[in-house]
Structure 1
Amino acid sequence: MTFFLDNWYLFVMAIASGGMLLVPMFKGGMPGGLAPAGAVQLVNREKGVLIDVCSADEYAAGHAVGARNAPLADLEARLPAMVKNKALPVVLLCASGARANRAAAVARKLGYSNVQVLAGGLNAWRAANLPVEKS
């Protein structure tokens, strides 16, 4: 017990650092997701495809430049027509990342082996000052 009392500050630091590891999850990013810079690298270097799973209205209001729209409800029917090569990297995004995580499960079920989710979605894309266009 005296060890805890004598070294209380070490325990406070350990708890604080553990809490800091959880902050990105509470800010809207999903653990294990792809950062916006990583998504840009996949698109530029490995011919990755950006798929926005938002509704058509949300997509028209603003989307990442180069992203194609396949709403989550229609993803199973539209993804095979958009990305014929199932080995290409597919980066899924939505407004915050929640729908994209569900879409990743659908894409994997369809046989896409290299599926990534943009952590934080379009919000993170905008925060990284990456281009957004309206249609």
Structure 2
Amino acid sequence: MKRAIYLVLIVFAFVSCQAQQKEEIQKVSPEQFSQKINAEKGQLVDVRTPKEYKAGHIQNAVNIHLYDQDFEQRINKLDKDKVVYVYCKAGGRSADAVETMKAQGFKNIVELDGGTDAWAEAGKELK
């Protein structure tokens, strides 16, 4: 009986660890962000205002403004099983967006550290 209980506890611990490993939230430099969006196809989300987006954004990004009333509804249309790359101007709004996405069940999120400011400083192009 004790063996069965230990076996169940070991299996439960292993399954729990596996589930935790699948969640990956990363905050990366512009160089790493660029490498990741080129290496693994995902969903690239700009959470700045439409005006900021039109002034210059990372190629292939979709604009889902963090402070729009339908922000949660719009992000929930994204595939939660695919990686989501998210950025803003300096990092504050993207951090808030990441928290919202985590609460909505997104497991693989890559955030650009320093936003488009850091991106441009690193010599990366905005469209």
Same fold (TM > 0.5): yes
**CA RMSD for the aligned pairs?**
1.4
Which of 57, 71, 78 lines up with 2:74 in the alignment? 78
Cα distance between partner residues in 2 of 1:114 and 1:106: 13
Number of the residue aligned with 2:8: none
* Between 40-49 and 98-107, the greater mean CA deviation after superposition: 40-49
Residue-pair matches, total: 100
> Which ranges in structure 1 are unaligned for 5 or more consecutive residues?
1-31
Cα distance between partner residues in 2 of 1:131 and 1:62: 9
Bigger Cα Rg = 1
Q: Displacement of 1:126 after TM fit?
A: 0.7
Q: Whose helix fraction is larger, Structure 1's or Structure 2's?
A: 1
Write the letter of the residue equivalent to 1:37. Answer: E
Number of the residue aligned with 1:96: 90
- 3-state DSSP of counterpart to 1:87: coil
> Which ranges in structure 2 are unaligned for 5 or more consecutive residues?
1-25
- 3-state DSSP of counterpart to 1:64: coil
Which of 103, 111, 122 lines up with 1:109 in the alignment? 103
Q: Contact 1:42–1:89 at 8 Å: present in 2 too?
A: no
Q: For 1:1-135, list aligned pairs within 5 A.
A: 33-74=27-68, 75-81=71-77, 83-84=78-79, 86-133=80-127
Q: Displacement of 1:131 after TM fit?
A: 1.5
TM-score for both structures, normalised by structure 1: 0.68
